[in-house]
Amino acid sequence: MQAEIDVAVVGGGVAGLTAGMYAARNGMRTVLFEAMMPGGQTATILRLENYPGFPDGVDGAALAADILRQAEAAGCELRYEAVQEIIPAEAVAAPHTIVTAAGRYAAKTVILAGGAAPRRLGLPREEELTGHGVSYCATCDGALFRGKRVAVVGGGNTALTDALVLSRYAERVFLIHRRDAFRGSRVLEDRVRATAQIELLLSRTVSGLLGTDKLSGLQLAAPDGADAGELAVDGLFVAVGVSPVSEFVADCLQRSSNGGIVTDARMQTSLPGVYAAGDCRDTALRQVVTAAADGAVAAASASEYVMSLG
Protein backbone atom coordinates (compact mmCIF):
# COMPACT_ATOMS: atom_id res chain seq x y z
CA MET A 1 0.00 0.00 0.00
CA GLN A 2 1.37 3.42 -1.01
CA ALA A 3 1.31 6.62 1.11
CA GLU A 4 -2.21 7.94 1.70
CA ILE A 5 -3.73 10.18 -0.96
CA ASP A 6 -6.00 13.08 0.05
CA VAL A 7 -8.05 13.11 -3.14
CA ALA A 8 -7.99 10.25 -5.65
CA VAL A 9 -9.64 11.14 -8.95
CA VAL A 10 -10.73 8.25 -11.16
CA GLY A 11 -10.92 9.26 -14.82
CA GLY A 12 -9.07 11.87 -16.87
CA GLY A 13 -11.82 13.52 -18.90
CA VAL A 14 -12.70 17.17 -18.36
CA ALA A 15 -14.56 16.43 -15.09
CA GLY A 16 -11.62 14.49 -13.62
CA LEU A 17 -8.92 16.91 -14.84
CA THR A 18 -10.82 19.91 -13.48
CA ALA A 19 -11.37 18.12 -10.15
CA GLY A 20 -7.65 17.26 -10.06
CA MET A 21 -6.68 20.86 -10.74
CA TYR A 22 -9.01 22.31 -8.09
CA ALA A 23 -8.08 19.74 -5.42
CA ALA A 24 -4.33 20.23 -6.00
CA ARG A 25 -4.78 24.01 -5.83
CA ASN A 26 -6.49 23.48 -2.45
CA GLY A 27 -3.24 21.91 -1.23
CA MET A 28 -4.55 18.34 -1.33
CA ARG A 29 -2.24 15.47 -2.30
CA THR A 30 -4.13 14.63 -5.47
CA VAL A 31 -3.61 11.60 -7.70
CA LEU A 32 -5.58 11.13 -10.92
CA PHE A 33 -5.92 7.62 -12.36
CA GLU A 34 -6.46 7.34 -16.11
CA ALA A 35 -6.42 4.05 -18.03
CA MET A 36 -5.66 5.46 -21.46
CA MET A 37 -5.29 8.97 -22.85
CA PRO A 38 -6.50 11.93 -20.76
CA GLY A 39 -9.17 14.11 -22.35
CA GLY A 40 -12.05 11.62 -22.51
CA GLN A 41 -14.87 12.31 -24.95
CA THR A 42 -13.83 15.98 -25.24
CA ALA A 43 -10.61 14.94 -26.99
CA THR A 44 -12.72 13.50 -29.85
CA ILE A 45 -14.64 16.74 -30.53
CA LEU A 46 -13.29 18.44 -33.66
CA ARG A 47 -14.87 21.81 -32.89
CA LEU A 48 -16.58 22.49 -29.60
CA GLU A 49 -19.01 25.33 -30.26
CA ASN A 50 -20.81 25.78 -26.95
CA TYR A 51 -17.99 26.10 -24.41
CA PRO A 52 -18.21 29.65 -23.04
CA GLY A 53 -15.44 32.02 -23.99
CA PHE A 54 -14.75 30.57 -27.44
CA PRO A 55 -17.13 32.34 -29.86
CA ASP A 56 -15.36 30.77 -32.86
CA GLY A 57 -15.34 27.30 -31.28
CA VAL A 58 -12.37 25.42 -29.86
CA ASP A 59 -10.63 22.16 -30.76
CA GLY A 60 -11.72 19.59 -28.12
CA ALA A 61 -8.36 17.81 -27.95
CA ALA A 62 -6.51 21.12 -27.54
CA LEU A 63 -8.87 22.24 -24.77
CA ALA A 64 -8.44 18.93 -22.92
CA ALA A 65 -4.64 19.10 -23.32
CA ASP A 66 -4.63 22.61 -21.83
CA ILE A 67 -6.73 21.50 -18.82
CA LEU A 68 -4.33 18.56 -18.32
CA ARG A 69 -1.37 20.95 -18.37
CA GLN A 70 -3.18 23.21 -15.89
CA ALA A 71 -3.93 20.27 -13.56
CA GLU A 72 -0.33 19.03 -13.62
CA ALA A 73 1.02 22.55 -13.08
CA ALA A 74 -1.22 22.81 -10.00
CA GLY A 75 0.40 19.66 -8.59
CA CYS A 76 -2.06 16.93 -9.60
CA GLU A 77 -0.15 13.66 -10.09
CA LEU A 78 -1.16 11.51 -13.10
CA ARG A 79 -1.03 7.72 -12.95
CA TYR A 80 -1.71 5.82 -16.15
CA GLU A 81 -3.30 2.83 -14.45
CA ALA A 82 -6.74 1.30 -15.02
CA VAL A 83 -8.72 1.20 -11.80
CA GLN A 84 -10.04 -2.32 -11.31
CA GLU A 85 -11.89 -1.87 -8.05
CA ILE A 86 -12.66 0.72 -5.41
CA ILE A 87 -13.21 -0.77 -1.99
CA PRO A 88 -15.17 1.72 0.12
CA ALA A 89 -13.96 2.51 3.65
CA GLU A 90 -15.38 0.19 6.27
CA ALA A 91 -15.82 3.04 8.75
CA VAL A 92 -16.36 6.79 8.45
CA ALA A 93 -12.96 8.56 8.21
CA ALA A 94 -11.16 5.32 7.32
CA PRO A 95 -9.45 5.31 3.89
CA HIS A 96 -10.96 3.93 0.71
CA THR A 97 -8.84 1.50 -1.30
CA ILE A 98 -8.14 1.97 -5.00
CA VAL A 99 -7.00 -1.22 -6.71
CA THR A 100 -5.13 -1.06 -10.04
CA ALA A 101 -3.00 -3.66 -11.86
CA ALA A 102 0.06 -1.84 -10.48
CA GLY A 103 -0.92 -1.70 -6.82
CA ARG A 104 -3.29 -0.64 -4.06
CA TYR A 105 -3.69 2.94 -2.90
CA ALA A 106 -5.32 4.33 0.25
CA ALA A 107 -7.31 7.52 -0.32
CA LYS A 108 -9.14 9.75 2.15
CA THR A 109 -11.60 10.75 -0.57
CA VAL A 110 -12.42 9.56 -4.07
CA ILE A 111 -13.88 11.54 -6.96
CA LEU A 112 -15.48 9.26 -9.55
CA ALA A 113 -15.16 10.78 -13.02
CA GLY A 114 -15.21 7.75 -15.31
CA GLY A 115 -17.46 9.43 -17.87
CA ALA A 116 -19.87 7.54 -20.06
CA ALA A 117 -19.50 4.97 -22.82
CA PRO A 118 -21.57 4.79 -26.03
CA ARG A 119 -24.60 2.50 -25.82
CA ARG A 120 -24.83 -0.48 -28.16
CA LEU A 121 -27.88 -1.10 -30.35
CA GLY A 122 -27.99 -4.67 -29.07
CA LEU A 123 -28.27 -6.23 -32.54
CA PRO A 124 -26.98 -9.69 -33.44
CA ARG A 125 -23.36 -9.53 -34.79
CA GLU A 126 -22.95 -5.90 -33.64
CA GLU A 127 -19.81 -6.74 -31.66
CA GLU A 128 -18.31 -8.87 -34.42
CA LEU A 129 -18.78 -6.06 -37.01
CA THR A 130 -17.43 -3.33 -34.72
CA GLY A 131 -14.27 -2.11 -36.45
CA HIS A 132 -15.52 -3.73 -39.68
CA GLY A 133 -18.05 -1.08 -40.63
CA VAL A 134 -19.73 -0.48 -37.28
CA SER A 135 -18.33 2.40 -35.23
CA TYR A 136 -19.22 4.48 -32.17
CA CYS A 137 -16.98 7.48 -32.94
CA ALA A 138 -17.43 9.53 -36.12
CA THR A 139 -14.53 11.83 -35.29
CA CYS A 140 -12.17 8.87 -34.87
CA ASP A 141 -13.29 6.73 -37.83
CA GLY A 142 -15.04 9.14 -40.25
CA ALA A 143 -12.03 9.59 -42.55
CA LEU A 144 -12.02 5.84 -43.27
CA PHE A 145 -15.29 6.31 -45.16
CA ARG A 146 -14.17 8.91 -47.69
CA GLY A 147 -16.39 8.72 -50.78
CA LYS A 148 -18.54 5.94 -49.27
CA ARG A 149 -22.14 5.56 -48.08
CA VAL A 150 -22.63 5.63 -44.34
CA ALA A 151 -25.52 5.74 -41.89
CA VAL A 152 -25.87 7.26 -38.45
CA VAL A 153 -28.50 5.97 -36.05
CA GLY A 154 -29.89 8.19 -33.27
CA GLY A 155 -31.67 11.51 -32.84
CA GLY A 156 -29.69 13.39 -30.18
CA ASN A 157 -26.80 15.85 -30.37
CA THR A 158 -24.26 13.08 -30.94
CA ALA A 159 -26.16 11.72 -33.98
CA LEU A 160 -26.62 15.21 -35.46
CA THR A 161 -22.95 16.08 -34.89
CA ASP A 162 -21.81 12.72 -36.30
CA ALA A 163 -23.90 13.21 -39.46
CA LEU A 164 -22.30 16.64 -39.97
CA VAL A 165 -18.77 15.31 -39.35
CA LEU A 166 -19.35 12.40 -41.76
CA SER A 167 -20.75 14.67 -44.48
CA ARG A 168 -17.20 16.01 -44.88
CA TYR A 169 -15.95 12.59 -45.96
CA ALA A 170 -18.79 10.36 -47.13
CA GLU A 171 -20.55 10.59 -50.47
CA ARG A 172 -23.94 10.04 -48.74
CA VAL A 173 -24.95 10.06 -45.08
CA PHE A 174 -28.27 8.52 -44.00
CA LEU A 175 -29.47 9.73 -40.62
CA ILE A 176 -31.83 7.11 -39.23
CA HIS A 177 -34.01 8.09 -36.28
CA ARG A 178 -36.82 6.12 -34.68
CA ARG A 179 -39.12 9.16 -34.33
CA ASP A 180 -39.94 12.09 -36.63
CA ALA A 181 -38.59 14.72 -34.20
CA PHE A 182 -34.99 15.13 -33.04
CA ARG A 183 -34.02 15.63 -29.42
CA GLY A 184 -30.76 17.44 -30.24
CA SER A 185 -30.26 21.21 -30.40
CA ARG A 186 -32.08 23.28 -33.01
CA VAL A 187 -28.91 24.82 -34.40
CA LEU A 188 -27.46 21.37 -35.20
CA GLU A 189 -30.74 20.11 -36.64
CA ASP A 190 -30.99 23.14 -38.96
CA ARG A 191 -27.44 22.55 -40.13
CA VAL A 192 -28.16 18.87 -40.80
CA ARG A 193 -31.32 19.71 -42.75
CA ALA A 194 -29.33 22.21 -44.84
CA THR A 195 -26.58 19.73 -45.75
CA ALA A 196 -27.17 18.21 -49.17
CA GLN A 197 -25.25 14.93 -48.58
CA ILE A 198 -27.37 14.09 -45.52
CA GLU A 199 -30.61 12.22 -46.12
CA LEU A 200 -33.05 11.80 -43.23
CA LEU A 201 -34.72 8.44 -42.71
CA LEU A 202 -37.22 9.25 -39.97
CA SER A 203 -39.52 6.86 -38.10
CA ARG A 204 -37.14 4.02 -38.95
CA THR A 205 -35.04 1.68 -36.85
CA VAL A 206 -32.14 -0.59 -37.71
CA SER A 207 -33.31 -4.14 -37.17
CA GLY A 208 -30.37 -6.05 -38.63
CA LEU A 209 -26.78 -5.76 -39.84
CA LEU A 210 -25.95 -7.24 -43.26
CA GLY A 211 -22.60 -8.48 -44.54
CA THR A 212 -20.28 -11.33 -43.67
CA ASP A 213 -16.71 -10.13 -42.92
CA LYS A 214 -17.66 -6.47 -43.04
CA LEU A 215 -20.84 -4.42 -43.01
CA SER A 216 -22.53 -4.13 -46.40
CA GLY A 217 -25.97 -2.88 -45.44
CA LEU A 218 -28.75 -2.48 -42.93
CA GLN A 219 -32.11 -4.09 -42.49
CA LEU A 220 -34.59 -1.34 -41.62
CA ALA A 221 -37.91 -1.52 -39.81
CA ALA A 222 -40.85 0.78 -39.15
CA PRO A 223 -41.65 1.72 -35.52
CA ASP A 224 -44.28 -1.06 -35.41
CA GLY A 225 -41.60 -3.58 -36.41
CA ALA A 226 -42.79 -3.95 -40.04
CA ASP A 227 -40.05 -4.54 -42.60
CA ALA A 228 -38.89 -1.25 -44.19
CA GLY A 229 -36.40 -2.70 -46.66
CA GLU A 230 -32.63 -2.84 -46.90
CA LEU A 231 -30.16 0.05 -47.16
CA ALA A 232 -26.73 -0.55 -48.71
CA VAL A 233 -24.02 1.20 -46.65
CA ASP A 234 -20.33 0.69 -45.92
CA GLY A 235 -20.47 2.12 -42.41
CA LEU A 236 -22.87 2.49 -39.50
CA PHE A 237 -22.22 5.03 -36.75
CA VAL A 238 -24.20 4.22 -33.62
CA ALA A 239 -25.20 7.31 -31.61
CA VAL A 240 -28.05 6.12 -29.40
CA GLY A 241 -26.92 7.64 -26.12
CA VAL A 242 -24.37 6.85 -23.46
CA SER A 243 -24.18 4.69 -20.35
CA PRO A 244 -22.44 6.05 -17.25
CA VAL A 245 -19.23 4.20 -16.33
CA SER A 246 -19.00 3.16 -12.69
CA GLU A 247 -18.69 -0.63 -12.69
CA PHE A 248 -15.50 -0.62 -10.62
CA VAL A 249 -17.34 0.69 -7.54
CA ALA A 250 -19.19 -1.56 -5.13
CA ASP A 251 -22.87 -2.25 -5.75
CA CYS A 252 -23.76 -0.40 -2.54
CA LEU A 253 -23.20 2.94 -4.35
CA GLN A 254 -26.64 4.39 -5.17
CA ARG A 255 -27.34 4.60 -8.90
CA SER A 256 -30.34 5.74 -10.93
CA SER A 257 -32.28 3.36 -13.18
CA ASN A 258 -29.99 4.23 -16.13
CA GLY A 259 -26.83 3.55 -14.12
CA GLY A 260 -25.91 7.17 -13.32
CA ILE A 261 -24.29 7.71 -9.92
CA VAL A 262 -26.70 9.61 -7.69
CA THR A 263 -25.21 12.68 -5.99
CA ASP A 264 -26.46 15.73 -4.12
CA ALA A 265 -25.70 19.29 -5.26
CA ARG A 266 -22.26 19.04 -3.65
CA MET A 267 -21.47 15.93 -5.77
CA GLN A 268 -21.60 13.74 -2.65
CA THR A 269 -22.60 10.14 -3.45
CA SER A 270 -24.34 7.74 -1.09
CA LEU A 271 -20.91 6.76 0.31
CA PRO A 272 -19.21 9.23 2.72
CA GLY A 273 -16.02 10.67 1.22
CA VAL A 274 -16.91 9.49 -2.29
CA TYR A 275 -17.97 12.09 -4.89
CA ALA A 276 -18.92 11.89 -8.56
CA ALA A 277 -18.51 14.41 -11.38
CA GLY A 278 -19.37 14.64 -15.06
CA ASP A 279 -21.05 12.12 -17.34
CA CYS A 280 -20.90 9.18 -14.90
CA ARG A 281 -23.32 11.09 -12.66
CA ASP A 282 -27.10 10.94 -12.77
CA THR A 283 -27.48 14.29 -14.51
CA ALA A 284 -29.85 16.08 -16.89
CA LEU A 285 -27.12 17.63 -19.04
CA ARG A 286 -23.91 16.01 -20.25
CA GLN A 287 -21.76 18.79 -21.67
CA VAL A 288 -18.12 19.81 -21.35
CA VAL A 289 -19.11 22.88 -19.34
CA THR A 290 -21.16 20.83 -16.84
CA ALA A 291 -18.34 18.28 -16.53
CA ALA A 292 -15.90 21.07 -15.64
CA ALA A 293 -18.34 22.60 -13.16
CA ASP A 294 -19.06 19.22 -11.51
CA GLY A 295 -15.31 18.61 -11.17
CA ALA A 296 -14.79 21.93 -9.42
CA VAL A 297 -17.69 21.35 -6.99
CA ALA A 298 -16.58 17.76 -6.25
CA ALA A 299 -13.01 18.92 -5.53
CA ALA A 300 -14.24 21.64 -3.17
CA SER A 301 -16.43 19.12 -1.30
CA ALA A 302 -13.63 16.51 -1.12
CA SER A 303 -11.14 19.11 0.13
CA GLU A 304 -13.54 20.21 2.88
CA TYR A 305 -14.05 16.59 3.89
CA VAL A 306 -10.28 15.98 4.10
CA MET A 307 -9.84 19.13 6.21
CA SER A 308 -12.67 18.04 8.52
CA LEU A 309 -10.69 14.86 9.24
CA GLY A 310 -7.96 17.06 10.72
Binding footprint of ligand NAP on the chain (CB under 6 A):
50, 121, 153-159, 161, 178-179, 183, 205, 239-242, 285-287
- Angle between helix 60-74 and helix 288-309 axes, rounded to 10 deg: 10
Q: Is 141 a catalytic residue?
A: yes
Q: Is 280 a catalytic residue?
A: no
Given a contact cutoff of 8 angstroms between Cβ atoms, the answer to whether 217 and 210 are in contact is: yes
- Give me the least distance between CB of 190 and ligand NAP, in Å please: 13
- Give me the least distance between CB of 10 and ligand NAP, in Å please: 20
Q: Is 282 a catalytic residue?
A: no
- Give me the least distance between CB of 208 and ligand NAP, in Å please: 13
Pairing verdict, β 227-232 and 235-238: unpaired
Catalytic residue, candidates 6, 56, 59, 137: 137
Nearer to ligand NAP, 158 or 269 (CB): 158
Nearer to ligand NAP, 28 or 175 (CB): 175
- Give me the least distance between CB of 52 and ligand NAP, in Å please: 13
Nearer to ligand NAP, 50 or 84 (CB): 50
Given a contact cutoff of 8 angstroms between Cβ atoms, the answer to whether 120 and 206 are in contact is: no
Catalytic residue, candidates 141, 162, 279, 294: 141
Nearer to ligand NAP, 48 or 78 (CB): 48
Catalytic residue, candidates 6, 59, 66, 140: 140
Nearer to ligand NAP, 49 or 199 (CB): 49
- Give me the least distance between CB of 170 and ligand NAP, in Å please: 19
Indicate which residues carry an active-site annotation: 137, 140-141
